[in-house]
Amino acid sequence: MPCEMHTPLWRTRGGIVLLGFLAVAGFYLVTEHTAHLLGALPFLLFLSCPLMHLFMHHGHGGHGGHEPHGTASDASPRPTGTGTETNQRGVP
């Protein structure tokens, strides 16, 4: 059974025409509606804050692994180190 190579859309004649049309349409959209786009920037800034929190919050490991509040380890003082210890990532 021969393996057929799939040609990407942007390498076909129709794909090149589509990319050209999208470039021209994007140019006219930006030039004709610049005032609308600039007026929406403050709202887009406020919208980006919760969206970044939702989509990027998973990157730092979440909130798992914390000890519950009120355990015995909370009452005991933390030992002071010599400054040569490393954290979990191996960074001093």
Residues written for the chain? 92
Q: Determine contact, residues 73/67, Cβ cutoff 8 Å.
A: yes
| Predicted pLDDT at 44 | 87
Q: What pTM value is reported for the model?
A: 0.39
CA 65 to mean position of chain CA atoms: 24
Q: Between residues 57 and 36, which one has the greater pLDDT?
A: 36
Determine the pLDDT at residue 17.
95
Residue 22 sits at the vertex; the CA angle it makes with 15 and 55, to the nearest 5 degrees, is: 100
Q: What is the pLDDT of residues 42-81, one digit of tens each?
A: 998 899 988 888 888 766 655 565 566 665 555 555 556 5
Q: What are phi and psi of 84, to 5 degrees?
A: -105, 0
